[in-house]
């Protein structure tokens, strides 16, 4: 058992790795009754190929999301969330490309909730009937989700950008891939990635660390969990050249939705870590496309969008994406302008302007410690990426104007694609 004090944030984190490899962390929030418990595995939509005990497995797309759904179904067919409701606890789960998390929250019965959370995640029960039933539910969910305009443009941009990476597919997979998922696929994925050594439990809120740790150790000690040798296979991009330069699709919309994307193959070192580049990109995009920027004013003044310009990015250890999009009466004109700003980007940042954004981001980072769910999720996310979540404060503080010059290598024409959802049929 160990603890770490974050003096600047007035926070203390307790942590221990159990004998079976499960990492447990607790951030105590004094004078708060509500507690959040997140139980995560380093397994998401990127992990479709892997070796387990020397045997290679190829799994249909969407299996990680499917597995999340199935684990919520108890052996008798009831939903585990019904049990948590009897304890006055909220429960849910989420899957992204890199991890899956199961979580509960509430003011009472947290100790009982933790035990049930550990038990249902670590006691899979899949049948042919339950898998077939879940396929119908997930396909219906996908049909609705994949038809949303902002899902279409985000997935369209990713499909245009990537050649090999599973990022080009939605986390939920495709209708066709979901239909192919079998009970055996789910058990193979579970046995490979739901091992305690590949998982982490984080508690944020009230309660006592010694009592939590005793409960969790007792729960894990009574379980026989087989350790497997697993080697994930994640296809990587060979370069930053996009797969498709442009694509246009039709949907019945009031206005077309158009956007561009930039493919990033990140380069890291001891200083330029993943979290460092992530924060650098976030602040840079705000400076260049936020409400106070020249680009934003030009786009609004020339009515290139009907409402606003959306900008955001994603980044992991293998690749990243910058997204810029908006609803527009003239999609071709908007795309032409966005591409021009990216290719002709000025990477010189004004020191006074940077100071304003640094102050805002430092304030937001500190304020996030009042969001227990955010804190629990991000602690697990950082650990799975091999990053230090608490380093973000120092990263922001240390940012210099010259640091942004390194971003120039990513803003090149061959790395840019465009996508339009037109409201006019050809």
Is 114 within a domain?
yes
Which residue has 């005793």 as its token pair?
Answer: 214
Among 233, 258, 275, the domain boundary falls at 233
Nearest to 104 by CA among 219, 209, 205: 205
Is 240 within a domain?
no
The pLDDT-based confidence of 138 (bands split at 50, 70, 90) is very high
Residue 288 sits in the same domain as residue 361:
yes
Residue 206 sits in the same domain as residue 96:
yes
Q: Would you state the pLDDT for residue 425?
A: 67
The pLDDT-based confidence of 74 (bands split at 50, 70, 90) is confident
Is 392 within a domain?
yes
Enclosing domain of residue 106: 2-233
CB atoms within 10 A of CB 129: 10
pLDDT digits (tens, 9 = 90+) for 183-199: 999 999 999 999 999 99
pLDDT digits (tens, 9 = 90+) for 8-19: 777 889 999 999
Residue 343 sits in the same domain as residue 221:
no
Query: In this model, does residue 20 exceed pLDDT 90?
Result: yes
Among 233, 259, 289, the domain boundary falls at 233
Is 239 within a domain?
no
Nearest to 319 by CA among 100, 168, 154, 153: 168
Token duo for residue 24: 């447990």
The pLDDT-based confidence of 270 (bands split at 50, 70, 90) is confident
Residue 206 sits in the same domain as residue 307:
no
Model pTM?
0.93
Is 125 within a domain?
yes
DSSP for residue 272: S
Token duo for residue 177: 């891939």
- pLDDT above 70 covers a percentage of the chain that reads 99
Among 233, 258, 279, the domain boundary falls at 233
**Separation between Cα atoms, residue 349 and residue 400, nearest integer Å:** 9
Residue 89 sits in the same domain as residue 200:
yes
Average pLDDT, stretch 219-247?
A: 94
Residue 158 sits in the same domain as residue 253:
no
Give yes or no for a contact between 138 and 176, defined as CB atoms under 8 angstroms apart: no
Residue 182 sits in the same domain as residue 92:
yes
Q: Would you state the pLDDT for residue 1?
A: 66
Q: Would you state the pLDDT for residue 311?
A: 96
What's the residue count for the chain?
A: 426
* Structural domains in the chain (count): 2
**Separation between Cα atoms, residue 12 and residue 155, nearest integer Å:** 40
The pLDDT-based confidence of 148 (bands split at 50, 70, 90) is very high
């Amino acid at each position: 058992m160990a603890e770490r004090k974050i003096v600047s944030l007035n926070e203390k984190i307790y942590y221990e790795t159990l004998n079976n490899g499960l990492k447990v962390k607790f951030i105590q929030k004094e004078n708060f009754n509500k507690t959040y418990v997140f139980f995560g595995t380093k397994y998401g939509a990127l992990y479709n190929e892997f070796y387990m005990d020397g045997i290679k497995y190829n799994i249909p797309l969407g299996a990680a999301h499917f597995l999340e759904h199935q684990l919520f179904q108890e052996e008798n067919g009831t939903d585990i969330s019904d049990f948590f409701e009897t304890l006055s606890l909220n429960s849910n789960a989420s899957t992204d490309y890199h991890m899956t998390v199961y979580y509960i929250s509430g003011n009472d019965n947290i100790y009982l909730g933790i035990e049930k959370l550990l038990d249902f995640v670590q006691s899979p029960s899949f049948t042919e009937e339950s898998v077939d039933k879940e396929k119908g539910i997930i396909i219906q969910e996908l049909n609705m989700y994949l038809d949303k305009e902002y899902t279409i443009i985000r997935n369209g941009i990713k499909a245009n950008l990537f050649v090999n990476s599973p990022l080009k597919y939605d986390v939920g997979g495709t209708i066709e891939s979901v239909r192919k998922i079998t009970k055996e696929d789910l058990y193979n994925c579970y046995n490979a990635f739901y091992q305690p050594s590949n998982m982490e439990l984080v508690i944020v809120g009230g309660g006592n660390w010694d009592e939590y740790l005793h409960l969790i150790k007792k729960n894990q000690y009574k379980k026989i969990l087989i350790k497997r040798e697993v080697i994930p296979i994640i296809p990587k991009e060979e370069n930053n050249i996009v797969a498709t330069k442009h694509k246009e699709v039709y949907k019945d919309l009031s206005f077309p939705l158009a956007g561009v994307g930039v493919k990033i193959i990140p380069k890291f070192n001891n200083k330029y870590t993943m979290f460092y580049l992530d924060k650098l990109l976030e602040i840079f995009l705000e400076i260049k496309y936020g409400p106070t920027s020249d680009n934003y004013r030009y786009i609004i003044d020339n009515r290139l969008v009907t409402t606003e310009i959306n900008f955001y990015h994603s980044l992991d250890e293998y690749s990243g994406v910058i997204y810029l999009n908006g609803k527009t009466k003239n999609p071709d004109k908007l795309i032409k302008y966005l591409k021009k700003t990216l290719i002709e980007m000025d990477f010189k940042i004004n020191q006074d302007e940077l100071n304003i954004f640094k102050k805002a981001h430092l304030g937001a980072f500190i304020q996030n410690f009042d969001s227990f769910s955010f804190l629990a999720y991000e602690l697990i996310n950082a650990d799975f990426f091999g990053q230090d979540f608490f380093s973000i404060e120092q990263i922001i503080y240390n940012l210099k104007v010259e640091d942004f010059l390194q971003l120039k290598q990513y803003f090149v024409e061959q790395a840019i694609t465009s996508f339009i959802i037109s409201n006019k049929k050809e």
